[in-house]
Structure 1
Amino acid sequence: MAQRTRADALSRERIVEAAIELLDANGERGLTFRTLTERLATGPGAIYWHVPNKGELLAAATASVIGDALAVAVTGSPWEEIHALALGLFDAVEQHPWLSSQLAVQRSHSPWGSVTPRIFESIGRRVSALGVPEATWFTATSALAHYIFGAAGQNAANAQVLRLGGTDRAEFISAAVDAWEGLDPGKFPFLRSIADQVREHDDREQFLTGIDLILTGITAQGRT
């Protein structure tokens, strides 16, 4: 009876919130029901009452973070709202290093779950509002989703490497560009030509430019 009372006092939302905190601090390996019970100062029975296993807990944490990222006010043009959605997801993946791999799991293993449909619905509504042919909606929405999570995942991976290595981003990029500028111009003319652009680029601006390139292609289909 005491266990039931404790389970009722502890909400699923608080459990998921604590799980996200542990994931952010220590990654997926750092999230166990033991560490979670210690964080919440409760017994395992109270947690199992709400979340039966780690897989469901990871799915719930992923859904919570994605839900916050997709909370975009419907106040601008479809193009502007896609920008806001894309940046929200980009920032979420960067702020939660564990999220990228969990999104990949959700999209490939459980496309009917709570995460993938919400992502496609949020992006797809804005794509359809662009006035492009309905026959292109799936491909256009997929292209945006793949770009968003590919670019966000790579950016997050880069940031994680820099954090773990204690390396400054500007110094890292500068060293890479210096190496590119030293390449054989006969074999690597392109890399040498863009070296200065890489040295000065901003990750978020580059990301949004990519979104604009895709949206320009999408909307061009509506004019053909």
Structure 2
Amino acid sequence: MGFKFWFTRFIKVFLAITAVLFIVELLKQHSVQQSLMFAVTWAFITTAIFVGSRLYQPRKGIECALCNDTPETNDNNIKKHGVKMKVWLSMLVSFMLLLPFPARSAEQEFNYDDFINNYFAAWVNVQNPKASTDDLEHYLSFLTDDVGYQHLPYSTDDSRQEDGKKGLRKGMTYYLGIHTEYSAKLTNTAYGHNVIMIEFDTQAKGVHPDNGQLMTFNHHSFEVLEIDNGKVSVIRHYSK
């Protein structure tokens, strides 16, 4: 077993690993239907190249009768030619797998309307009387790890912090489940490039965890959400 044997084995393993990574990346950027379409397309292309390389190989008898090569020499030439074609085919397929697909951009794929509805529903679930830590984690999944939060005049710094989500988790866990009644209605929405605006009315009753006093409020809130790679990176909350 010489260099050609191990080189061929290396190419096969490399192609297998590259193909797996390639499919995973496809599923991240595209729907399952699109990924299957791309995979089938490349399968047809590689099959056509392989079949073409096989048809191009010299065959015994015909070419041998037209040249001065002996049958033994012709057999050796066929083997050498086959190895070369396999190497070139492997390199070509590897190059094809590494080529980027003409994917839609994240901006085109991002559905603002769906995101707003899902985000607001997750927020409402966290405020409900029977809210759980699972509800909280679901809401936090809409945020980046370094999310920034501002609520004037209580929280003035809107810069993104490395432990932003961790801090929100701690604060929201403290107030989790304090409401005895809660309702919220989304009244207005708007969005632009990487930014969302939502307005909503809130009515709630509950017991404050610090002093045990009954609290009742009726707020009109306005929030500006900055979006980074499909998640909320900065929250600017405005209400009384």
How does the TM-score come out when normalised to structure 1?
Answer: 0.22
Please state which structure has a larger fraction of its residues in strand: 2
Normalising by structure 2, report the TM-score.
0.21
Higher relative contact order (CA 8 A, sep 6+): 1
